[in-house]
Amino acid sequence: MRLVLFQARLRTWLPAISLAAVLVPILILQPATFSYFGSGLLLNLAVPIVFATLAQLAVITVNDLDLSIGPFVSLVACIGATVLVTRPAAGALALAGCILAYAAVGALIEWRQIPSIVVTLGMSFVWSGVAIVLLPSPGGTSPQWLGTVMNYQTPWVAAPIVWSVAVAVAGHMLLMRSSTGVRLRGAGGNPRAMRRFGWSLIRARATLYGVAGLFGVLSGLSLLGLTTSADANLALRYTLLSIAAVILGGGEFAGGRVSAIGAVLGAITLTLAASFLAFLNISPDWQVGMQGAILIVVLSLRVLLQRRGDKQ
């Protein structure tokens, strides 16, 4: 019995263990990276990835998969670098329209029972097409207020760490601790029970997709604030990166089993791995390979622990 409990706790702590496994070699090789400046440099792009990961987590909560979050984040950055600068009111309306469009996609998937992979893959081309129309070539500029927010220096602890912790806690409280979060997770964990209690699955899925759209907008704006310019292909890799981070953080594709804190830890782990290799002037191909290797190792350990637990 104690062994089963230990294995269950070990599975729960795998996201933190994987983060520690990345941090220890960095500490040994480059202790200076754990200074205020070093940690800020390593995690400079963590905030947009964290937001994109939580967007993917909202979709995975209802057992769906979003293949359009990367192009969507790129579109938001393009809107922010063009319309939001020249016509702020129109830009804000455009971003609000993007969130509503995301919610409508969720409602359509539930209403017509269309596989989410098909719909989101199609929407990825829509988001990319609109982004190219807005910004055919890399350029644009970040609104001044956005650059000020993203470059704000917090005292004692680097800003990306503060942002990530705040987002993780807020996501955990809303999704895991609130009654609304419990109902929304029920849409993925036990949809039949939701129907019996009279809760609308269309509304639940539309709400979660709307939340994903909101986090996608925050991801695009934060990325624009850090890079100061936009590109229609700026965040395409965020699609697979966000899926990997959610799974690395303990999320599963069935049953509405997700963890906001675990997903944020997964996003930070993948960001650290890539940033440290880039700091060592290692090829981007190896950076992607390292991220994949981390995911494979953690998933293998999770499956191994689950099988041993089933045998007990």
Q: How many domains does the chain have?
A: 1
**Predicted structure pTM score:** 0.91
What does the pLDDT read at residue 225?
93
Q: Is residue 3 a part of any domain in this protein?
A: no
Q: Which of 58, 50, 12, 53 is nearest to 206 (CA)?
A: 58
**Average pLDDT along the chain:** 85
What does the pLDDT read at residue 42?
79
What does the pLDDT read at residue 88?
94
Q: Which helix (H) or strand (E) holds 265?
A: helix 260-279
CATH of the domain at 172: 1.10.3470
What does the pLDDT read at residue 271?
85
pLDDT(283) > 70: no
Give the pLDDT confidence of 137-192 residue by residue, as tens digits: 998 999 999 989 998 888 888 888 899 999 999 988 888 888 888 788 877 777 77
d(CA 150, CA 50): 14
CB-CB contact of 215 with 61 (8 Å): no
Instruction: Work out the average pLDDT over 188-209.
Output: 82
- Confidence category of residue 2, pLDDT binned at 50, 70, 90: low
Ranges of H-type helices in the chain: 2-12, 14-29, 36-42, 46-60, 69-81, 83-86, 88-112, 116-134, 144-150, 159-172, 179-189, 191-196, 201-227, 238-248, 260-279, 284-311
Write out the residue range of the structural domain in which residue 41 sits.
Answer: 12-303
Q: Is residue 64 a part of any domain in this protein?
A: yes
Q: Is residue 309 a part of any domain in this protein?
A: no
pLDDT(281) > 80: no
Instruction: Work out the average pLDDT over 52-72.
Output: 94
Q: Is residue 311 a part of any domain in this protein?
A: no
Give the pLDDT confidence of 208-263 residue by residue, as tens digits: 999 999 999 999 999 999 999 999 999 999 998 899 889 888 877 766 678 889 89
Identify the residue with better confidence: 129 or 188.
129
What does the pLDDT read at residue 5?
57
Identify the residue with better confidence: 195 or 137.
137
pLDDT(194) > 80: no
Picking from 27-41, 172-186, 295-309, which range would have the lowest pLDDT averaged per residue?
295-309
Q: Is residue 7 a part of any domain in this protein?
A: no
